[in-house]
Structure formats: C-alpha cells, structure tokens
A and B are shown apart, each in its own frame.
Chain A
Amino acid sequence: MGYRIGIDIGGTFTDLVLADQEGRIHLAKTPSTPKNPPIAMKAGLDELARTVGLNRTELLAQTDLILHGTTVGLNTLLQLKGAKVGLLCTKGFRDSIEIRLAYKEERLDRAYAPPPPLVPRYLRLPVEERVDKDGRIMIPLCEDDVRRHIEVFRREGVQAVAICFLWSFLNPEHERRAGRLVEELFPEAYVYLSVDVWPQIREYDRTSTTVVSAYIGPAIDAYIKQIDTFLSAQGYEGALRYVQSNGGIAAAEAVLKRPAVLLKSGPASGPTAGLFFAQHFGIQDIVTVDMGGTSFDTCLVRRGLPDVAQFTDVARYRVSVPMVNINTIGAGGGSIAWIDAGLLRVGPHSAEADPGPACYLRGGTEPTVTDANVVLGYLNPEALLGGRFPIDAEAARRAVEERVARSLGITVSHAALSIFNLVNRNMALAIQEISLERGHDPRDYSLVVGGGSGPIHAWRLAQSLGIHKVLIPKLASTFCAFGALAANLRHDYGVGYTVRIEQSDIERMNTAYEQMETMGRHELAREGAHEDQVVVQRKMELRYIQQIYEVPILVPNHRISPADIPTLIVRFHDEHERLYTYSDRSESCEVISLGVTVIGKLSPLSLAAGSPTQDGTEPALIGTRPVLFEEFEFYQPTPVYDGGRLTGGEIITGPAIIEEPTTTIVVFPGSVVTLDPVGVYIMEQAE
C-alpha cells in the first residue's frame, strides 16, 4: 500500500496531510489560491514531497488514494455565482422557491429583505401533469409543454435544468420522461431530477434542493474536471474521492447527480477527525470543535455517529440532504470585541486575515480574541507559528484598552479576561445548541479540539459544559484535511412512505430497504469497497399522528415482520421523550420515510500514525512568561514548553503553556495534560 493524502482547500489555507506506509503523518499548509486551486495544491504537494524526501511526481506515483474536501460548492452559493438554471415544475406551482413557505428569518425586523430566488420566475416554467398523493397519475405528462420550455431555456442561455414535479418521489415516471426529453433535445445542458437528488415528501424542500444542485452543479463539475486534469498531468494514477456533506467520501460519479451533497464538503470532515482520535482511546461520544480565525464549528458525535441534519438552510436556501449537523458561529481568533450600548460583545464580525488582529500590525485597530489572548499571555507576545510570524503585544494591549477597557471603566487585563471569557461563553452556547437543546447532556461527552485557536480555549469550554476529558491532537490546525484522510465511503438514501405504522405494508417497506441497500452496495463496489467492509444502517422517520416534525429511529438490519412493529413504536416513544422531555405512550405514530446508510470502510489508518516525529534530545521546558488566569489576582510566571520536544508520556500540570508549530495549548490551573505517544494531548482535571 502506498501513500494516502487528505487535501482540504479552505478560503484562507490549503491543508494537506499525508499518511505514509508506516502510518506516520506529515503536514503541509499553504495559502489558498481561490482563482486556480491546483496552484495551492501543487505547492502543498511539493512541500509534502520534501518532507518524505521525494519530488512531486515521485510522491504522486507512490500515492494510491487522494481524499479531497472542497468549498467550491458552498462558495458558489454564498457568492451567488452559480449557473443559469431553468426549472420545470408542476403547473400551478412555479413559485414555491420564491414564496419559500413565507419563512422570514428575522421576524421582528420589518425591513429585512427576502433573498433573491436562484431561478428567476421567467425561467420557472409550469408543465401540465399531475401525480396524486397515492402515486397515481391524475393528468398525463404534456410533452409539448416540456418541448416548448426547452426551447425557451435554450434561447435564454440556460446551463442547467432542474426538474421537480409534485409527488414524484412516489411515482417518478413524469420526472424521468421530462429528464430524458431535456437530454435528447438540449444535450448541452446539465439536468437534475428531484428523485435523484432526494426522493422525499416536501415539495418545497425537494424543489429547492434540486435547484441548489443545478445552481452549483456545473461549477462542481468543472472543478472536478480541473482537479482530474491537474492530477493526471502530474502522472497520478490512483483514486480520487470527495468528502460529502454527510462526512463520508464518494467518487465523483456518485455526487455529480446530486451536487448538493458536496455543500459542506470540508467542514464535514471535522467530526471524522475527532472520532478517529477518540476511538483510539475507546471513546464513542464526543463533541468536536474547530476554532479558526473567523469561525467556530462544532458537531456532536454520539455512539460513533456524527449528528446529521435533514433540513438545513445554507445561505438562506433550503437544502434537504443529510448533512453533518455542524453549528457554525462567528467566533475565532479574529472575532472583534465591541461595546453595544454598554453591553460587551465579541463577534460575529471578524478582522479576518486582513487587516487581522491589532497585534498583527497590518492596520487593524479593533481588539480581537487573539489580541486578548496576547494580553493575557496565553499566546507568545513576540511571535506566532513557531517564531515565523512576529507580532506586537503593545498594539494588542492598546486596542483592548482603547476600545473596551475605557468604556467599561475596567483595567486592561480585566477587559482581556472578559473578552476571553465571553467568546468562550458564545462557543459554549453553540455547543449547548447541538447538545442540551437536542436532549444530549454534554457531561457525557469528551471534547476533541481542532483549529489553530481551539487549544487555547478548550479547557475553559470543557469546564463550563462539565466535560471531563479533552483531546487535542498535535495536528489540530489541519483537522479537516486529516478528517478526510480518516473518512469512509458513505451513501445515504431515503424514500418517502407516509402511512400510520399499524397500517403499513411491511412487504413494501422490506422491498424499499432492500432496494436502497442494493443500490448502496452497488455504488460502494464501484468505488472499490469489498463486500466484507460494508456496514448498513436502516432508519425510519416517525412522528405522532398530526405532528409536523419526525424523529428518526434505527431499524434492525433484517427483513422486518409485524412482530417488530411494537418494538419500533416503543423505540419512537423513548427517543421522543429523550429529545423533548415528553412522550405520549397512549398514542400511536406514523411513518414518514425510510432511509438506508451504507458505509464502505477503507483500510484503517493505524494510529501510530497520529504523531509527527521528534527526537527528544533537547529539553522541552524552554522558559517562563507572565500569564493571567482568572483563579489568581495577578500575572503568574508560567512555564512554557516546546511541544515539538516532548516525546510522549510527560505529565504537565497547569498552569503551563505548550507551544506547537501551528497552535498553542493553554494548560489552565487545576488541569493536567499528558501527551499520548500517538500525538494527542489528553487534558483532564488534576487530582
């Protein structure tokens, strides 16, 4: 087996992580080149190649798998730079993506504007046809309508056609026929069918998801071609897989029909990375956090499964495919502290990379979280990134004093501590939203920390949530690239089936499960997964009769029989009660949809792999600096360690600071940290 490389291209940095034959890990971090991503990729590959003593071509020749997370889909949507899309819909319903269920996010702001529809009304064209709620054809498809509309699309320069008809998920005949007509008469256009994207009840969600797919699809297709061309030009002959929004990976062919599954490619790898490290220590329940320069991502992983959301608004556009439920807030090293009519606030605005925190001396004057961390002594007052990036502690101090301390009438150090604590508070609330507010007690979870800024704040976050164990990988700052490397193949399928559970047609359900499973196994086989590496999970979404939202429960992996139904009902009540503190056991429930997830396990990385190498010949304790902790009234001289010189097994009791090349770990008073030889710091309450 050769090398395996994970590549995560973000807005600011392109991160690469390589696992070699012995399972050692090597990192590369280069600035992204958004206009031409392969340039950064090339630079990163060069850097990686150097670390293993090869050139780029040799490296790629010895690599057999590249795993890639990309924000191209997300950025296309955020910047509204997608394709010109035409929509074919059932006559009478051309406006659902513009009416958007009349959902107004900021209801108390009377001047809040609606988002522009991704397809303007003149390109949303109605087709005479109708399928009823039992899947029967009420009105046959008017092919002339389709042909006429195709002419309009061609004339208007449409690049991608989205098709979504009412109830098509119960009977896709009309949608498929219309799709074939487009392929036949307008072969140069991309075509996306709602039944391929996500065949489930909810016309608005299905239409919107199909439209988003069509909007970002051509850009994703072009991107994939660009990467393919680049890699084959470099002589690469191994496999290339993409990270999907569900955290799993897939071949390009599998995602191109439903590009919406790539929207969270990138951040979706965070939980995979977290889980990889946690499982080494036998831990299955974790909260992952990733705190970078501008934002904070957090996700809950329960029993080894990342929490997955079904209805998500991305940039205010509804996307209903399973996405790892990552809660993102504007809290990062660059988040700005400000005074809002006497109330201290931190974020969501960020100084970003330019001008950056005041201490960067690039023209920033607003105090950021990083500035507060410099004032408190948590960050090195002279330089970051292992000395490569000089900073000015006095500028940090000045910004905190002028913009915060003075208006609140407090000292600079009190102000810095307040900023530090408040951003922690914001992050803790973001974690509460995905844990406590969804019925999960964070005290039962361990925290796995990623992002360059994460390890500074990790212990305080853990304390405020009652979390006892914190894992900080040395490669925290390349968390997602590593997550891509550790991911498995995964595909989610769903099919709408709406019926009261005691009246359900069990054969129909068994058939649906088997069909989805077969489809999944087939896809995995094409992607090279062996039969014995495939794991299948069956799900059912249930709700009380007349309830509006459903609750997913797991279903046994065998053919179900009528005898299983009472067990499923009990499971539903239990889950409902756990989630919402309330259940009604005198009542029955109804099925909304059936789902199957197939996972193809790749050969696992061995965790000897986690740690970059170090020889341990020089002493790790490199000095002390004054640091302010809430527990003490004054700055304390605090030992500072060079993480690169720790060999593993050392026990460091707080207060202490550990400086790694791309991150800093603050060991707070009352906590103790040990470096596991696999390259993970384990932080716990001191005895």
Chain B
Amino acid sequence: MQVDPLTLAVVSSTLESTIREMTITLRRVARSPIFVIGHDFSDCLFDWNGRLIAMGQDQPVHLGAMSFGLRQGVLRQFAGDTYPGDIMYHNDPGTGASHLPDLTVYKPIFYQDQLLFWAVSRGHVNEIGGPVPGGYNPTAEDIFAEGLRISPIKIYERGKPRRDVIELIGTNVRTKREFLGDMGGQIAAVGVAERRLQSLVERYGVDVVKASIEELLERGRRVMREELAKIPAGTYHGTGLIDNDGFACGQIEIRATVTVDEGRIHVSLEAPSQVPHPINSYEPNTMAGLLYGVLSPLSPAVPRNEGAFSLVQADLGPKGTVVNAVEPAACGNSTGITIEAVCDAVTDALNPVIPHRAFGGASTWATYSLSGIDPRNGEFYNYTTHLAGMGGGGAGTGVDGWHCGANVTMGGAAMTGDIELVEYRVPFTIWQYELREDSACPGRWRGGLGSVYEVEVHHDDAFIANTGDGSLNPPLCALGSRPYYRVDRKKHSRFLLRTNGEKLYMPTNSVFRAGKGDRIIAYQGGGGGVGLAVDRPVERVIGDVRNGMISVEAAREEYGVVLDPETLEVDQMATEQQRASLRVRLLAAR
C-alpha cells in the first residue's frame, strides 16, 4: 500500500508528539528525585510485532534496552493473555530488563480488539527493597541481594487495578509513597499514549497507519544505511576499562571488534567471566551501550527505530561473562559502569576512523546514596546524590565536554538537584557544589570539569552506600588528548570527615555510617578530551586559567602555554618552544 506523503508525515509527527506528551506527564506526576529531576526515565512506542517505532529525548541507557523487556519478558509471559485495559509491570534482568531499580510499565493499545501498539515507560526509582537502601547494594554477590525482582506481572487487568499486587510491591520497598507515586506517573504516561494513538487510528484507519509504520521503519533502515556508508569499511578495535575500586576482582577489560562493511556494522565483544559483584551486565543493558557507541558518531537525525537498529549486528560472546551475564549475576552497577565501558570500547574503535565526530569518554558514574530517619518528621528517606556532583562529560570534535555532564550512556546529562530543593527535602546541609580545577583531561577540546560536592549530615545513624567506578582509570581520551590529574592522581574520591577531625577515604564501592555533624566530600573527575592539547588556541587556554578551570601550571605542562601567574600575560617565545617540545612528546606517545 502506497502511503500519501502527508499522511506519512502526520503519522511520524504523531508518534513524536505522543512520546513528548508521555514525558511531560511523567515528569509532572512522578515523585522520585532521581526519576524526575534526574530525568532517569524513558518512553518508547512499539508496534504490533514488538518493533521499536519511536523513542524520546531520554536515557540512551534505557532506550536500546527496552525492546528486550517487551520481547523476552512481557510478550512471552502474556502470549494469548493480553487484553484492552491491561498494564504490565516488570524489572527483572533475567527476563529482559536492565537492573532492579529500573521499573517498566507496558500498556497494550488496542483498536477495535486489534492489538496495534505498546506504550512503554521505564524509570529509575529511588528504592527497590533488599538489604541496602537506595537501589544500589555494593556488597551484593548475586541478584537476590539487590532488591525485589519482579517478573512480568499485570498491575491492571482489563482496566481494573490489581490492588493486592500493587500493595505487595509497595510493601517491599522502604519509600512506599514515593514509589507508588512514580508508578502512578508511569501509568498516566502510557494512558496518555493510548488516547493519542487511538485517535490517530480512528482518523486514518488501521491499514494506513500500519503501512505508514512499515514505511517509517524502512526509512530508518535507509537513513542508517546511508550514514554507515560514510564510515570507511574495515575492522577496528577498541577497549573499555572498569577499575573496580573496592571489589576483590580487580580491573576488567572489555574489548570491542567493530567491522563496517557495505552499510552494515558488526560489533563483537570480549570480556571475562561474570563476577560476584554488582557489575555484570545482562544482554539488554550491554546492547544499549553498544548501540549508543555505534550511533554516537552518526548524524543525530538517524531515526531511533527498529529499522535503523536492524543494521547493527552484535555478538556478545559466550553466556556467563561480564557483558553477557546469566542468573544469578548481580548487576546493580552495570547500567552506570559496564554499559559505559562497552560504549567506550566501541567509541575507542571508531574514533580514529571518524575523526570529525570523535568523542572522549565521560568521567565514569560514581555516587553514593544517603539514607536514614529524617529527624524532622520521623520518616525514612533515601537520597541518591547521583543527582549532584557528577563528573565531567567527554569532549567531542569541535566541542568541549559538559561540566558535571555525567555518563555518555545517560545522554551526557543526568540532571542534578537544585540546592535549595534538596536541602528542603532531606536532612542535610550542602556546603559546596562547584567545579573542580584541573579535573578535566586536556585536549584541543577539553573534557568537561568534575565537581566538589560537600554535605553535612543532620542526624546520627545515617547510612552511606558508595557505588560506581572511575577512581583509578582515566576516562577515554581521543586523538591525542591525554589524561591528567593534579589532585591525588585520582579521578573520583570520597571522604568522610568525622566531627572529631578524622578523615576517612571511602573506596568507590563500600558502605559507611555517619553521625550528626559529619561531612561527606565527593571529588568528581572530569571528562576525556579530543585532540592534542597543544592545538588548543592560546586565548582559550588563558580563558580557562582566568576562570580557574585550569591552573597556570597545567597551562604550561599540558597545553604548552606559558603565562605570567599574576597578569596572565603570555610569554610568546617560551610558549612556542614549550608547544613544539610537547607536540613531539604527545605525537610520540600516540
């Protein structure tokens, strides 16, 4: 069936606006700060065959992974048992989800008893039960220690809420009210999608809408093929690293082999066997990182749909590895760390081949959650500072990295909380949230800066769960940028300052208790750069020095710009000499 050009444009824009409306609804209704402020949620639409047809400006970490939850989870569990008014709910990586705090709501959308669409909304909640508050248990050795596993279930059946089931889930998390508020937001979001899509079908008819969607998927394939054809054919290799500070297993290396040929791309991964720590990644999460690594250098106009994605072939290697985990592997940190290493490995392979769209890696995700009883009202609270004090984002060819931009696979921007809103909400005082000098990797385009984030706890028995990575290895640097750290040569580091003056280093994966008046200081590293630092224009280097983003010493030692420390005037001669000799050294190091 030939679809009229206008109808095609209308169907396409309706899918986009439906997603946008789901997003607005979710943000307005949901409660978890990580969910709403952090924008740690994603909305997608799938067709009658479970093919991805549209996705929002959301978290790449979710977007590449959500098809699996539908196909491996919901469609299998409820084959022949799906009715108008049903809503499914799911978080278990064993059946296609990412990690336990990512809860997904699925709504089948019918038109006259014919299943046409699935509206799917995934979001990261603040709490998911289990031994450690906050959804991340750094001590977990298997998935059972990470919280409540929910295989695909119905929370609404033919339009009626299953209150007993919802109550059972709520009972298992520490922040029930907030949790159910988030669920309500997701239910509202998929409900909005149902209204929009049904009216689209009403207007144009089932056949025309179906034919339009086939055409949009075909268009995705076509645009993707054209984009891939711009990458020189060949086989390329890259590496991503996980340092595992605090874990006994030590550094893990993930290797990617990327083959580009005739408008197709093939990625195979190699990684060690899965480990008894929460960094194992199940297939959906690994695929999300891989896909984002492939898409990064391509035009952002590539349609995010199954048509485009079908040209990416992946081989995750044997089952039972860190990138292809099987039950009962613990996986809590995989959506922040392992996924990033997978994406880095692909980016590292492609950077030299597509230098006009090369990227540095972000300073890896590392955070802590702080929980306890709020002395003001006696209620349990949990606060994940994932919302604050992120590390710097990676640079790209032509652009410096975003400060506090966070993970590449979080879209380079997991939003942080407003200082006053945070202080109003939780019992601590924030004393500092500022950029950290010399934290970024130098380059012609430098990484974004990391931050210093300092809080004072207002009560005894506060529980700190540290999670993350990136205190040992630098972020990925591209095209001659090289890592550089002045402060302790550590990318990230966190300290507990006791009221008695004691200062404790907290390894990246560890648990601590803090008392009233204790302070937690988190130093976050910056992002990876792109290009030789000696090619950064002198005036930009001076600007960075004047703004306290790099030191006079770093300007000289890394960028080869020799400045008078008082006046910031350039010593032209010395600068030329310094740049020439640094260039020789940097090129030799490449």
Residues of A within 8 A of B (CB): 92-96, 98-99, 101-114, 120-122, 132-133, 166-167, 201-205, 340-345, 408, 410, 417-418, 421-422, 425-426, 429, 432-433, 436-437, 498, 544-549, 579-582, 584, 587
Contacts and interface: CB of A to CB of B under 8 A. Distances in A.
B10 interface: yes
Residue of A92, A102, A425 with most chain B CB atoms under a 10 A cut-off:
A102
B406 A102 contact: yes
Given A341-B226, A342-B222, A110 B6 contact: no
Interface centre among B9, B59, B295 (most CB of A within 10 A): B9
A121 B398 CA distance: 22
B510 interface: no
Of all A-B residue pairs in the complex, the 7 with the closest CB atoms, nearest first, are A107-B411, A104-B413, A121-B547, A92-B432, A109-B300, A111-B396, A548-B36
Contact of A580 (B25, B223, B296): B25
Nearest to A170: B420
A498 B59 CA distance: 31
Nearest to A346: B9
A425 B451 contact: no
A340 B301 contact: yes
Contacts of A548: 27, 30-31, 33, 36-37, 421
A426 B13 contact: yes
Interface stretch (B132-140, B184-192, B323-331, B482-490): B184-192
Contacts of B421: 201-202, 548
A495 to B, nearest CB: 14
B71 interface: no
Given A133-B424, A344-B9, A548-B37, A584 B418 contact: no
Contacts of B25: 580-581
A202 B399 CA distance: 29
A425 B415 contact: no
Interface string B414-431: 111111110111000111
B402 interface: yes
B470 interface: no
30 contacts: A99-B433, A101-B418, A104-B413, A110-B412, A113-B399, A120-B543, A121-B435, A122-B546, A167-B420, A203-B418, A203-B419, A204-B418, A205-B418, A342-B219, A342-B222, A343-B5, A344-B5, A421-B6, A433-B17, A433-B20, A437-B24, A544-B181, A547-B29, A547-B31, A548-B33, A548-B36, A549-B36, A580-B25, A580-B188, A587-B177
A549 B398 CA distance: 36
Given A93-B434, A432-B17, A584 B184 contact: yes
Contacts, number: 200
Interface residues of B, number: 86
B390 A107 contact: no
B57 A101 contact: no
A99 B404 contact: yes
B432 A344 contact: no
A343 B8 contact: yes
Contacts of A426: 13
Contact of A95 (B9, B185, B414, B433): B433
Nearest to A582: B188
B60 interface: yes
A122 B549 CA distance: 10
Contacts of B304: 108
B547 A99 contact: no
B460 interface: no
A546 B295 CA distance: 36
B435 A99 contact: yes
Given A103-B413, A108-B304, A109-B300, 20 more contacts: A93-B419, A95-B451, A99-B416, A101-B37, A101-B416, A108-B57, A112-B412, A120-B546, A203-B418, A203-B420, A425-B9, A433-B17, A498-B424, A547-B31, A548-B30, A548-B33, A579-B28, A580-B188, A581-B25, A582-B187
Interface string B144-181: 00000000000000000000000000000000011001
A418 B10 CA distance: 11
Given A429-B13, A429-B17, A101 B415 contact: yes
Given A99-B404, A121-B547, A203-B420, A581 B36 contact: no
A328 to B, nearest CB: 16
Contacts of B30: 547-548
Contacts of B37: 101, 548
Nearest to A168: B420
A548 B29 CA distance: 8
B454 A102 contact: no
Nearest to B175: A546
A132 B191 contact: no
B6 A101 contact: no
B141 interface: no
B58 A107 contact: yes
B472 to A, nearest CB: 24
B440 interface: no
B184 A582 contact: yes
B86 interface: no
Contacts of A408: 5
A94 B419 CA distance: 12
A102 B415 contact: yes
A107 B57 contact: yes
A581 B195 CA distance: 12
Quick one: which of A99, A340, A498, A549 has the most chain B CB within 10 A?
A: A99
A113 B21 CA distance: 25
A257 B357 CA distance: 45
Contact of B414 (A99, A102, A108, A167): A102
B403 interface: yes
B560 interface: no
Nearest to B303: A341
Contacts of B543: 120
Interface in B30-69: 30-31, 33, 36-37, 39, 57-60
Nearest to B399: A113
B21 A437 contact: yes
A498 B37 CA distance: 18
B372 interface: no
Contacts of A579: 28
B435 A343 contact: no
Contact of A111 (B222, B399, B434): B399
B6 A422 contact: yes
A573 B10 CA distance: 35
B397 interface: yes
B29 A133 contact: no
A581 B188 contact: yes
A579 to B, nearest CB: 7
A408 B424 CA distance: 57
Nearest to A425: B10
Nearest to A545: B177
A544 B413 CA distance: 26
B548 interface: yes
A110 B413 CA distance: 10
Contact of B6 (A95, A114, A418): A418
Q: Which of B5, B402, B414, B432 has most A Cβ within 10 Å?
A: B5
Nearest to A341: B223
B405 interface: yes
Given A102-B405, A167-B420, A581 B411 contact: no
A418 B6 CA distance: 6
B451 A99 contact: yes
Interface string B107-125: 0000000000000000000
Contact of A92 (B296, B404, B413, B433): B433
A205 B10 CA distance: 36
B136 to A, nearest CB: 20
B559 interface: no
Interface string B284-303: 00000000000110001100
A430 to B, nearest CB: 10
Contact of B296 (A98, A110, A133, A433): A110
Interface centre among B6, B223, B413, B430 (most CB of A within 10 A): B6
B282 interface: no
